[in-house]
Structure 1
Amino acid sequence: MLATDSDPIVAIATAPGRGGIGVVRISCGRAGDGAATALMQALCGQMLVARHASYVPFLDAGGNALDRGIALNFPAPHSYTGEHVLELQGHGGPIVLQLVLQRCLEAGKPFGLRLAEPGEFTRRAFLNDKLDLAQAEAVADLIEASTEAAARSAGRSLEGAFSRAIHALVDDVIGLRMLVEATLDFPEEEIDFLEAADARGKLAHIRERLADVLGDARQGALLREGLSVVLAGQPNVGKSSLLNALAGAELAIVTPIAGTTRDKVTQTIQIEGIPLHIIDTAGLRETEDEVERIGIARTWGEIERADVVLHLLDARAGVTGEDTAIAARFPGGVPVVRVLNKTDLTEMAPSVNRLSINGDADVCEVRLSAKKSEGIDLLRAELLRIAGWQAGTESVYLARERHLIALRAAQEHLALAAGHAEQGNHALDLFAEELRLAQEALNSITGEFTSDDLLGVIFSRFCIGK
């Protein structure tokens, strides 16, 4: 534990700006009960009953009231951080909150009270075993959730659903490791350990459970991050109309004049609770207009960063040479959906078709009318398919990219372990090592095996006061 992790800390825990209520939070760190007692007397003029709301004045150094509100005393270890915690809940004006904060720092100076860093209260909760690392991250995810589904999933992670799934996997891996390593300690035994202990069956069961957890984590990551969807194509193929149709609002200007959209227009929408960051871009064409050329350059930049590209074409013209040239510049590895728009001006009906182009048997073509909102649901369904979303996933918990990386690493180590298992007893040492590495990867998710550098990165992204 770093020395600064035991300092008394204080911060305004409510968002900046004016509000009905503002909260100043103190965690007393190593100073403990002595600091809590002194601060209660200095700030409130009295001792506070544990876990009891008291209506008191918040006093300045001269004993005059800066504000009046609710004071709460949470003695260690029964608090959010596991340390003595005091909360002052007063009026939410920025000036009065700053006055109370400065008074706290003044009163706590003998104990080394300082301003908290971003996420430091939750970091204390993790270091004091009030939360594991996955739960601590879920606190920030719950605050930042942009959809109802994401908030529900973050809540499940905070309650420990994700952590319990990881701990169950770790317990299974440990059980198998014990069997393997016990056998390594008695090499003179001539029994076939792998058969006698059903090690292969146990490993297959672990790998199956890990695959299920990874699938749920992928869905949870989608709820947290969403997809970046770029609308690209020639001018006047209906990109802005499609943005408006997907968003259900007139967000982008739509005119028959080519080059109307000269810079990106971004809107976040939800499909099945998944945030989709839809980016309408400038039409791709050769132009002498300097402003439009800048917009087109930015379009290609957005395409490079996209999770999905919707390549819009005019259904009346079909695939032109210009469209083929545009498609040839799309980056490899990024899913592309060909969207034939303006079907209302043709004999085409809205539909989804799988095409084989240059040996690629899974190019999707969606025919629709953005203006008439016909076929929009087909496109939404295709975006969900690309995202890998499965319906009926109420039990999904929120996950981060680092969780996915750790789960995939564990999956790879278990696959290697399975390969060693096929070689029989003479490869048990390699089998055991891959199991150990898989366990470390899983433990990094909940924080049982985590570097201080990683903790610094995670908690620095929290808001002040949390």
Structure 2
Amino acid sequence: MVEKPPTTPKPDRAVPSETIAAIATASGRGGVGIVRLSGRTIGAYAQALCGKLPVPRVATLVDFLAADDSLLDTGLILYFPAPYSFTGEDVIELHGHGGPMVLQLLLSRCLDLGARLAEPGEFTRRAFLNGKLDLAQAEAVADLIDASTVAAARSAVRSLHGDFSREIHFLLDQLTELRALTEATLDFPDEEIDFLEAADAFGRLDRLQARLASVRDRAHQGRLLQSGLHVVIVGQPNVGKSSLLNRLAGDELAIVTPIAGTTRDVVRGSLQIEGIPLHVIDTAGLRETNDEVERIGIERTWREIERADVVLLLVDARVGVTPADAEIIARLAPGIVRITVCNKADLAGCPVARSQTRDGVEIRLSAKTGEGIGLLRDELLRIAGWHPAEDVFIARERHLRALADTGNHIGMARAQLPQLELFAEELRLAQRALSSITGEFTADDLLGEIFGRFCIGK
């Protein structure tokens, strides 16, 4: 069973009293399927379903009975008494045969007995409300289920077991200690204490900012493991966009011919570089055309560009950036990350290389031979902010925003010194922003949004 960090306080929120039930295994056929119930009157359900309340934490073979005592299925029942369960309430799990109809019969029987069908994420939400998990850990449950790479799964496990939360609580403890010293000085203004020197205020703030920067860096990489990087390949027709997509993906995803305008619509490929998912999109060549199908493809290309994290502008190394390419660059949104990729270096007779130009990074390569592809992969990792680390934890956009807000308030606190009243207020705001990550200061509507994205039965 997952244990919460020892410093996590129990949220001050009401916990629903109804018994909830749901199928906890994926839809479709399987060898075993599970129906899960959680609530405060579980004993009555066990008695009605199988005639007895089983020994806690022991898998017991039973017959699952209908209302008229006819046999619904034969399987295992597991009983987890409160508070030593995932939700912190009494929980029973019915392990039956994994056919959809069998599980629906078991679930319907539980609902007939008075249970309510669980909402998406409601079991995990009750675990949070009962103090079994903090909010960061609860979110890691969904992240673990949704992990698309090994690195993302391992990072989600670290967050689920409290690594991220422990870092947050360490920072909170340091903020609390500094706030306490500040408040004590404000309460006794006549004391001849040089607060800045005695409390080592600047040194404490420096250490806080350094630790916070480390946490933000690891959380940012964890965010990339979850969402990946959206890369769009653009350029004139017949410069090798489809060849580059195929080379990056390691598969023949796009049709490659010497005929300009072969790609009429966007083609998507997914790959991993050092555990980070890359969603690479090959697009129609950007040019003026009277072909209606190609024109629609070009419109879709510009829509993809608007959503991109990185744009690869592909040009022919024998020609370089043309006026038509310059028009593409002029239409790109300000601040978008762009890499100019000079393809067909083998035909141009120039070596593969990465160079820094006035307009940004330029990489010469050959999509046909594969030379220089490693340079492009390394550049994408650099843009993503990747670094080799085994202590990355999964994070979400709201976590990154909260960490950024915390850093801003700590910076403002330093600027307020020696005005201790303003200094103390900025520390309080920093503490509040940081506490929102673990759920100590989180609005109920945000909780509904977070848990509403979970699957039913989790």
TM-score, scaled relative to structure 2: 0.96
Corresponding residue for residue 369 of structure 1: 366
Amino acid at match of 2:204: K
Instruction: Report the alpha carbon displacement of residue 5 of structure 1 after superposing the two structures with TM.
Output: 2.6
Instruction: Report the alpha carbon displacement of residue 317 of structure 1 after superposing the two structures with TM.
Output: 1.7
| Residues 230 and 308, structure 2, Cα contact 8 Å, conserved in 1 | yes
Cα deviation code 1:66-101 (max 9, x no counterpart): 111111001110100000001001111111111111
Q: What are the equivalent positions in structure 2 for 1:68-147 lying under 5 Å apart?
A: 68-107=74-113, 109=114, 113-147=115-149
Aligned partners of 1:140, 1:215: CA distance in 2, in Å? 22
Corresponding residue for residue 5 of structure 1: 16
SS in 1 for 2:16: helix
Instruction: Report the alpha carbon displacement of residue 4 of structure 1 after superposing the two structures with TM.
Output: 7.4
Is 1:306 the counterpart of 2:301? The answer is no
Cα deviation code 1:381-426 (max 9, x no counterpart): 00001111112x11110110000000000000000001112xx2xx
| Residues 37 and 92, structure 2, Cα contact 8 Å, conserved in 1 | yes
Corresponding residue for residue 241 of structure 1: 243
Corresponding residue for residue 27 of structure 1: 38
Amino acid at match of 1:448: E
Cα deviation code 1:206-265 (max 9, x no counterpart): 111111111111111111111000011111111111111011111111111111111111
Corresponding residue for residue 333 of structure 2: 331
Instruction: Report the alpha carbon displacement of residue 2 of structure 1 after superposing the two structures with TM.
Output: 7.2
Corresponding residue for residue 422 of structure 2: 430
> Which of the numbers 398, 402, 411 marks the counterpart of 2:398?
402
| Residues 155 and 222, structure 2, Cα contact 8 Å, conserved in 1 | yes
Instruction: Report the alpha carbon displacement of residue 342 of structure 1 after superposing the two structures with TM.
Output: 1.1
Aligned residues: CA RMSD = 1.1
Aligned partners of 1:59, 1:373: CA distance in 2, in Å? 64
Aligned partners of 1:330, 1:348: CA distance in 2, in Å? 28
| Residues 15 and 129, structure 2, Cα contact 8 Å, conserved in 1 | no
SS in 2 for 1:211: helix
Aligned partners of 1:319, 1:206: CA distance in 2, in Å? 47
**Gap runs ≥5 in structure 2:** 1-11
Corresponding residue for residue 9 of structure 2: none
Corresponding residue for residue 163 of structure 2: 161
Instruction: Report the alpha carbon displacement of residue 45 of structure 1 after superposing the two structures with TM.
Output: 2.1
Corresponding residue for residue 443 of structure 1: 435
Q: What are the equivalent positions in structure 2 for 1:179-328 lying under 5 Å apart?
A: 179-328=181-330
Corresponding residue for residue 360 of structure 1: none
Most deviating of 177-186 and 191-200: 191-200
Instruction: Report the alpha carbon displacement of residue 3 of structure 1 after superposing the two structures with TM.
Output: 6.8
Instruction: Report the alpha carbon displacement of residue 192 of structure 1 after superposing the two structures with TM.
Output: 2.0
Aligned partners of 2:294, 2:384: CA distance in 1, in Å? 32
Is 1:381 the counterpart of 2:392? The answer is no
Question: Which stretches of structure 1, 4 residues or more, deviate above 6 A after TM superposition?
Answer: 1-4
Aligned partners of 1:228, 1:330: CA distance in 2, in Å? 15
Aligned partners of 2:272, 2:339: CA distance in 1, in Å? 19
SS in 2 for 1:5: coil
SS in 2 for 1:371: coil
**Gap runs ≥5 in structure 1:** 358-362
Instruction: Report the alpha carbon displacement of residue 186 of structure 1 after superposing the two structures with TM.
Output: 0.9
Aligned partners of 2:346, 2:256: CA distance in 1, in Å? 17
Aligned partners of 1:246, 1:79: CA distance in 2, in Å? 46
Instruction: Report the alpha carbon displacement of residue 189 of structure 1 after superposing the two structures with TM.
Output: 2.5
Is 1:458 the counterpart of 2:456? The answer is no
